Amino acid sequence: MSFTALTCPQCGAALPRQASWRMVVCPYCSATVTRNKSLVQAAPLREAAARVRAQALAGYPSTLPVLRWQGQRYQLLKRVGVGEHAEVHLAERMGPFPERVIVKLVHAGTRSGVLAAEAAILRALQASTLAEAAYFSQRVPQAIASGVGETACGNQREGLLLRHPSGYWGSLAQVLRYAANGIEPRHAVWIWRRVLEVLAFAHDSDWTHGDLRPEHWLVHPRDHGVLLVGWSRAMPGADDAAIARDLRQSAWTLRALLCGGDTLPTCGRSTPPPLVDLLERSSEDAAWCAEVGARGLDQALVAAARAAFGPPKFIPFNPTSATCR
């Protein structure tokens, strides 16, 4: 018995089975491919691709570190964060088809498998069968691959590749560097609502986040979006205690955002009473959080915001402004 491997002669990616009988477009590099040898010569295509790849690689600066990963090379452009288990880099796949990615590399001494476990959690969320999964699964990181990469000097490090979330400015921890006295409360409302929406999706998918510190909330100023990252502490089994812990952590993060990140954050002097009441209850009353859940807390937030500010209104958000007002 023999098998025919349907692969693109230009980039080597798998082709759809229709390539056996008709012309197709490679889903990876967009090359038009046909099995008719009189139309496409595989060997010259490979030679041309090799020349293009070599020319593309020659254009990268030699001063930046390079990571070899599963047959590809990624240039680490800059470090964008440092977490408990790993450092986070913005990187670019090198070659004729560059792609920006996020690379997480474990710290020395970190237990083996921590990033593989995080990748499995992210894939489980992406595979959710909930009706709203197509939308909310885009509000958590998208894992590309996990495994072991090799640095230019030959050191091997466990890592995780994530799709680059375009448009996200930075984390709430970075926002707080520009807002020593806290941000305008109306911005806190939409930021909290976005995270509560993601938490409702995660809880319905039987997962809890478990680590909702400001560093794990990435903001998209133009679209008023939030990407929730840092899922290494996530746990399956969304029971009442775990749900309440997520919601209380989110409320404490909002309190820090409103008062400028104090060690024991208040709710900020300019925060209207309806929002103060909700923040105090949701950050301290675990039983109430477990009872209402993320969706109930979101509804309570909508009501508090309307009582404080009137009908919803889009307000441009500038994270580098001293007060984000």
Examine residue 8 and state whether it is found in any structural domain, yes or no.
no
Q: Compute the distance between CA of residue 115 and CA of residue 232 in angstroms, rounded to an integer.
A: 7
For residue 107, is it within any domain?
yes
Residue 225 pLDDT class (50, 70, 90 cuts): very high
Domain co-membership, 286 together with 217: yes
Number of neighbours of residue 273 by Cβ within 10 angstroms = 11
Each residue's pLDDT tens digit, 82-136: 888 899 999 998 877 788 999 999 988 888 889 999 999 999 999 999 999 989 9
Q: What is the DSSP letter of 35?
A: S
Please check whether residue 322 lies inside any domain of the structure: no
CA–CA–CA angle 295, 298, 304 (5° rounding): 145
Determine the structural domain holding residue 139 and report its residue range. Answer: 66-163
Do 219 and 110 reside in the same domain of the chain? no
Rounded to whole angstroms, the Cα distance separating 247 from 286 reads: 8
Q: Among 238, 207, 302, 296, which Cα is nearest to 288's?
A: 296
As a whole number of angstroms, the distance between CA 183 and CA 143 comes to: 32
Is this prediction's pTM over 0.75? yes
In a domain, 5, yes or no: no
Residue-wise pLDDT tens digits, 163-200 = 998 889 999 999 998 988 889 999 999 999 999 999 99
* CATH number (domain holding residue 80): 3.30.200.20
For residue 231, give the DSSP letter.
-
Name the maximum alpha-carbon separation found in the chain. 76
**Gap between the Cα atoms of 267 and 257, Å rounded:** 9
Pick 278 or 13 by higher pLDDT.
278
d(CA 138, CA 121): 14
Give the position of tokens 């498998």.
113
Does residue 295 lie within any of the structural domains?
yes
**Are 42 and 110 found together in one domain?**
no
Number of domains in the chain: 3
299: tokens are 């509804």
